Amino acid sequence: MAYSEKVIDHYENPRNVGTLDKEDTHVGTGMVGAPACGDVMRLQIRVNDEGVIEDARFKTYGCGSAIASSSLVTEWLKGKTLDQAQAIKNAEIAEELALPPVKIHCSVLAEDAIKAAIEDYRQKQK
C-alpha cells in the first residue's frame, strides 16, 4: 500500500502536535480510539469569545494515516466557527489525503475527535 505525498508529509512533519490545558473553559478535548488498528486520537481546540477556534492541538498514537488525518484537521480547524468545524466530514479528510479504502477509518476517527472536542467545549459552557 502506497501512501500519498500529503500523508507522508503530515506523518513526517506533523503540524500542531501537543496539548492545551484541559481545565481551561475555552478548551474542548476529544479522545477517540479505533480498536480495529489500535489508533488513539486526542484532539483539543481552543475557542475564543466569538466562538471561533483559534488553536488546535493533537496527540495520536497509531498508523501514518491516523497521524496525518489528525495533523490535517488541526490546520483546517483554525479560524473556523464551531458550526463550520462540526460540518467537516471524514470523506473530505480522506479525499484530501487520498487515503486508501483500508485506511478510511482514520478519517472517521478524526471526524469523531472533532465532534467530541466540540461537545466537550459546549459542556463546559453550561
Percent of the chain with pLDDT over 70: 97
Q: Where are the domains of the chain?
A: 5-124
- Please tell us whether the domain made up of 5-124 is placed in CATH 3.40.640.10: no
Task: Report the C-alpha gap between 31 and 94 in whole angstroms.
Answer: 20
The 8-class DSSP code of residue 2 comes to P
| Active-site residue, from 8, 37, 52, 104 | 37
**pTM for the whole thing?**
0.93
| Active-site residue, from 106, 113, 116, 117 | 106
DSSP string, 60-88: EES-HHHHHHHHHHHHHHTT-BHHHHHT-
- Residues 34-83: tens digit of each pLDDT: 666 688 999 999 999 999 999 999 999 999 999 999 999 999 999 999 99
pLDDT at site 34: 64
Q: Are 85 and 45 in contact (CB under 8 A)?
A: yes
63 is catalytic: no
Sheet holding 27-34, edge to edge: 27-34, 39-47, 53-61
